[in-house]
Amino acid sequence: RWIYGGVIGTTGMAMPILPGEGPCIRCLFPETPPPGSLPTCDTVGVLNTAPSTVASIQVTEAIKLLVGKGISKHRLLTLDLWTGSYRFIAVQKDKNCPCCGQGRFDFLEAKEVSWTTTLCGRNSVQISPSRATVLSLDDLSRRLAQAGKVSYNGLLLQFQIGDHELVIFPNGRTIVKGTTDESVAKNLYSKYLGN
């Protein structure tokens, strides 16, 4: 048993996860979104009060769980601190859920693995995503423009951030220039594309 919480920008969400009694995270989000399709903390930021607000809600739900009274079962709380809106969304367990319905733990078993390779003599690392994807480079270019210099020619997107440049292709393949360290490249990929 645990309490899920997430924050991005001015928004957040929280929900108790009660294995065997209700929906799991995969019931809510069956598939991971394609890289670059959602904002990240580095592209839109996080309002400084949002993490503490969501954490307070998580702690309150944990206390309810410990004392056995008033837990918010089968509902996800979403909030936007900027607009002051709070809303509960009823969620149901998906009997066909790969995780809680079928007992598969694909993300823990890491069946989907991206691969990287250092490009000889180019001070660059190429990252290929773990699954086939189609990125909206147009949308991604608008989001990344808030964090660094972007050049988009309709075929590929170039994103300059500090000493590094990410060349992003529509299939998610990315060349990270300015490093031969695969962990640095993966970190930049995750930071700005979200996966």
| Closest by Cα among 170, 171, 164 to 185 | 164
Write down the catalytic residue from 24, 27, 41, 97: 41
Query: Is the per-residue pLDDT at 186 higher than 80?
Result: yes
Average pLDDT, the chain: 88
Which band of pLDDT confidence, cut at 50, 70 and 90, is reported for residue 112?
A: low
Comparing 113 with 99, the larger pLDDT belongs to 99
CATH class for the domain made up of 115-193? alpha beta
Query: Is the per-residue pLDDT at 34 higher than 80?
Result: no
User: Residue 184 is encoded by which pair of tokens?
Assistant: 């640095």
pLDDT digits (tens, 9 = 90+) for 130-139: 776 788 899 9
Query: Is the per-residue pLDDT at 33 higher than 90?
Result: no
Query: Is the per-residue pLDDT at 24 higher than 80?
Result: yes
> The CATH number of 2-109 is which of 3.40.50.1820, 3.40.1360.10, 3.30.360.10, 3.40.50.720?
3.40.50.720
Query: Is the per-residue pLDDT at 195 higher than 80?
Result: no
Residue 53 pLDDT: 98
How many CA atoms lie within 13 Å of 62's alpha carbon, on the beta-carbon side? 10
Residue 120 pLDDT: 67
Whole-angstrom distance, CA of residue 37 vs CA of residue 143: 9
Residue 71 pLDDT: 82
CA 51 to chain centroid: 15
Considering the entire predicted model, what is its pTM?
A: 0.63
CB contact set of 54 (below 8 Å; sequence gap of 6+): 5, 6, 7, 12, 13, 14, 79
Is 27 among the residues known to form the active site?
Answer: no
Which band of pLDDT confidence, cut at 50, 70 and 90, is reported for residue 113?
A: low
Residue 110 pLDDT: 57
Mean pLDDT over 157-172 rounds to 94
User: Residue 139 is encoded by which pair of tokens?
Assistant: 């949308």
What is the share, in percent, of the chain residues with pLDDT greater than 70?
Answer: 93
3-state SS of the chain?
A: CEEEEEEEECEEEEEEECCCCCCCHHHHCCCCCCCCCCCCHHHHCECCCHHHHHHHHHHHHHHHHHHCCCCCCCEEEEEECCCCEEEEEECCCCCCCCCCCCCCCHHHHCCCCCEEEEECCCCEEEEECCCCCCCCHHHHHHHHCCCCEEEECCCCEEEEECCEEEEECCCCCEEEECCCCHHHHHHHHHHHHCC
Which band of pLDDT confidence, cut at 50, 70 and 90, is reported for residue 111?
A: low
Instruction: Please state the domain extents for the chain.
Output: 2-109, 115-193
Q: Do domains 2-109 and 115-193 have the same CATH topology?
A: no
Sign of CA dihedral 49, 55, 56, 58: positive
Mean pLDDT over 68-86 rounds to 93
